[in-house]
Structure 1
Amino acid sequence: MLKDKKDLLIKALDGTLENHHHIQLQMLLDDYDHIQKQVNFLNNAISEIIKEHYAEAFQCLDSISGIGVKSAEIIISEAGKDMSRFPTGGHFTAWCGIAPGNNESAGKWKNTAIRKGNNYLRVAIVGAAWAAVRMKNSYWHALFEKLRKRMKAQKAIEAVARRLLKVVYKTVDTLTIYQEKGIAHFVDLQAKANLYYNTKSAWPNLHAE
Structure 2
Amino acid sequence: MGPSLSLKLVGECGTDLRAWPSAKHFTSWLCLAPGNKISGGKVLSSRTRRSSSQAAALLRLAAVTIGRSDTALGAFCRRLAARAGKAKAVTATARKIAVLFYNTLRHGMTYKEPGASHYEERYRNRVLGNLKRRAKSLGYDLQELPPEANMAVS
On whether the aligned pair clears a TM of 0.5, the verdict is yes
Q: Which residue of 1 aligns with 2:117?
A: 184
Aligned equivalent of 1:168, options 78, 98, 101: 101
Q: Which structure: greater helix fraction?
A: 1
Q: Which residue of 1 aligns with 2:15?
A: 81
In structure 1, distance between residues paired with 2:45 and 2:125: 25
Q: Which runs of 4+ in 1 moved over 6 A?
A: 198-202
Contact kept? 1:97, 1:118, Cα under 8 Å = no
CA offset at residue 161 of structure 1?
0.7
Which entry has the higher C-alpha Rg, 1 or 2? 1
In structure 2, distance between residues paired with 1:88 and 1:196: 32
Identity of aligned residues (%): 25
Aligned equivalent of 1:139, options 72, 75, 82: 72
In structure 1, distance between residues paired with 2:2 and 2:87: 21
In structure 2, distance between residues paired with 1:196 and 1:115: 35
In structure 2, distance between residues paired with 1:88 and 1:200: 35
3-state SS of 2:112 partner: coil
CA offset at residue 186 of structure 1?
1.5
In structure 2, distance between residues paired with 1:118 and 1:192: 40
In structure 2, distance between residues paired with 1:84 and 1:186: 31
| Structure 2 gaps, min length 5 | 37-43, 139-154
Matched, 1:113 2:47: yes
Aligned residues: 131
For 2:84, the aligned partner's letter is: M
Indicate the RMSD between aligned Cα atoms, in angstroms. 3.0
- Please list the CA deviations of residues 108-149 of structure 1 after superposition, one character each: whole Å capped at 9, or x if unmatched: xx984322446100111011111212212x112211111012
In structure 2, distance between residues paired with 1:180 and 1:151: 24
Task: State the TM-score, normalizing by the size of structure 1.
Answer: 0.52
CA offset at residue 77 of structure 1?
1.3
In structure 2, distance between residues paired with 1:156 and 1:120: 19
- Please list the CA deviations of residues 129-177 of structure 1 after superposition, one character each: whole Å capped at 9, or x if unmatched: 11212212x1122111110121221121111111111111111122244
Contact kept? 2:35, 2:45, Cα under 8 Å = no
In structure 1, distance between residues paired with 2:10 and 2:73: 22
Contact kept? 1:99, 1:114, Cα under 8 Å = yes
3-state SS of 1:143 partner: helix
Aligned equivalent of 1:91, options 25, 28, 38: 25
CA offset at residue 68 of structure 1?
2.1
